[in-house]
Structure 1
Amino acid sequence: MELKLHDTLDYSVIKFPATYEIPEAFNSLTAFKSITYTNDECSFVVPTDSLNTNQATAVDSGWFIIQIVGELDFSLVGILTQLANPLAEQGISIFALSTYNTDYLLIKNTEKERALQTLIQAGHTFN
C-alpha cells in the first residue's frame, strides 16, 4: 500500500466537553485538522499549540500522521488491518482516523523510526 508522511508538524489529540464550540483559530488552520463530536466528548486533532486548551479535559501531544494515498472504496476490507497488525506486533500504538476518501494513522513521534521501518518491512511504500 502506498503511504505518505502527511507533514512534519507535531500533532495533539485534544478532548473537550461535548458542548465545546469550534474556535475561530481552528477554522484558520491550513494544516491537517479533524474534529469529532459524540454525546460524550469533542475530540480535536490539530498541530500542537495551535488551539487554546484551557477548556480541554485531556491533551496528548507528540503525534505524527501517515496517510493512505488515494481514495479508498467503501467496499474494501482490511485496509487498516494491513497497517495496524504489523505495528501492533511491534507494540506500536495507533490512533486511526477515517475520512470519506481515505484513512490516517497517528503514531507517537517517539515510535516514528520504528513505525516507518515496520511498515516498510510489511511491504508498504512511502511516496
Structure 2
Amino acid sequence: MTVYLALTALEGDYAVTRRAPGEGLPDWLAGPGLLSVTQASDEVSILCLADRVPAKEVSARGWQAVQVDTCAPLDQPGVVLAAVEPVTRAGLGIFVTSTHDRDYLLVRAARIAQAEAAWLSAGHRVSAGGVTLRVAGSDDVETLACLHFRVWQETYARIAPPEVRLALNKARRLAYWRERLAQDGTTVIAERAGEAVALAALSPASDLDGFGDAMELGHLYVAAEARGTGLGRRLLTIARAIAGAQDGRGLVLAVVRENTPAVAFYTGQGGQVLAKRRDKGPLWPSDNLILGWEPEDKAKASV
C-alpha cells in the first residue's frame, strides 16, 4: 500500500548532543521545540534546539527537524519507510525519532531543499511557514489557470502588447494547463490557508535550442499577496533540486528582457545569462534572456 504523508518543517536549528552516561541531564535541557533524550549504556543523546546547547558540549549542529503530520499507530507499516526512502535515494542523510503519536525526521538544514524535492516527487506534501507545497494533478487545471492568468496579467500589464493580453485569457490558460499536465514534467503548487499563491512548472528543455540536456523552469509565479516572504526563492531552490535529481541536470529558463524585476530576482539567485533569444511566437515574439544554473553538486565542486 502506498503511503502519502504530510510533512511540516519545525522552526529553528537543531543539534544532537552526546554526553557521558554518568553526567546526568543538564539544566539547559528544558525549553521550547522538539526535545528527545535517549539513554544507552555508553552515552546519553539529547536532541533539541541548538541555541540552548553550550558551546563546550559535544554536538552535531545544523539539523532541520520535520514533523510527520500523519498520525499512525506505533506498529503501522510503511510510514517511516515512505518518509525515509525518497531522501536516501536522493543521497541525503536522515535519522528518525518518534513519540507515541508521531515520527520526526532530521535532515541537514543546508540540504532541506533537496529533501523537500524528494518528498514532493514521491507524492508527499511539505509545509513550512504556513505554506504547503504539493505536486499538481489533473484536478488542479482550473486552479493553475486562474493563478497563471492573474499573475501574468499583473506582471505584463505594461510590457506585453494589449492584443496579447486579451488573447491570453482564462479559457486559453485552461486549455494550456490541461495539455501541460498530461505531458512529462512536474508542477508544484504552493498553498496558504487553502488558497493557491504560487506555482513552479518544470519540464525537459526540448523547446530551447542548445539546452536540451537541462530542465526548463517554464513558469514561476507568485501572487502579490505572497511576495516578499521568500516563497519564490524557495520554489526556485526546489526546482533546481528536482532538476538535479534528473540525472544531475541543470536548470534553465526564459524571461522577457523588459521584465526587469524578474531578471533581477533570477540573477540575484545566481542565474547566469546564457543566451539571448527571440520568442518563436506566434502571439508575441518577445526578446528573451535565457538564464541558467548548473546542477548544485557541480556548482559546489567549482567553488
TM more than 0.5: yes
Report what 2:84 is aligned to. Answer: 84
Report what 2:14 is aligned to. Answer: 11
Secondary structure at 1:87 match in 2: helix
Secondary structure at 1:49 match in 2: helix
Residues 63-78 of structure 1 mapped to structure 2, 5 A cutoff? 63-78=63-78
Q: Distance in 2 between matches of 1:19 and 1:30?
A: 25
Secondary structure at 1:126 match in 2: strand
**Residue 53 of structure 1, CA deviation:** 5.0
Alpha carbons 2:13, 2:51 under 8 Å: kept: no
**Residue 50 of structure 1, CA deviation:** 0.5
- Corresponding residue to 2:40 among 20, 38, 41: 38
Residue identity in the other structure for 1:19: G
> Gaps spanning 5+ residues in structure 1: where?
none
- Corresponding residue to 1:2 among 3, 6, 14: 6
- Select the structure of larger CA radius of gyration: 2
- CA-atom RMSD in angstroms: 1.4
Residue identity in the other structure for 1:24: D
Residue deviations 1:57-78 (CA, integer Å, cap 9, x gap)? x311100011111432123112
Q: Distance in 1 between matches of 2:117 and 2:106?
A: 15
Residues 53-72 of structure 1 mapped to structure 2, 5 A cutoff? 53-54=55-56, 56=57, 58-72=58-72
Residue deviations 1:91-110 (CA, integer Å, cap 9, x gap)? 01102101111100000011
Secondary structure at 1:105 match in 2: strand
Alpha carbons 2:8, 2:68 under 8 Å: kept: yes
> Gaps spanning 5+ residues in structure 2: where?
128-303
Q: Which runs of 4+ in 1 moved over 2 A?
A: 51-54
Q: Distance in 2 between matches of 1:119 and 1:90?
A: 10
Secondary structure at 1:111 match in 2: helix
Report what 1:98 is aligned to. Answer: 98
Alpha carbons 2:64, 2:109 under 8 Å: kept: yes
- Corresponding residue to 2:25 among 22, 25, 46: 22
Higher helix share: 2
Residue identity in the other structure for 1:6: L
Residue identity in the other structure for 1:25: W
Secondary structure at 2:63 match in 1: strand
**TM score, norm. by length of structure 2:** 0.39
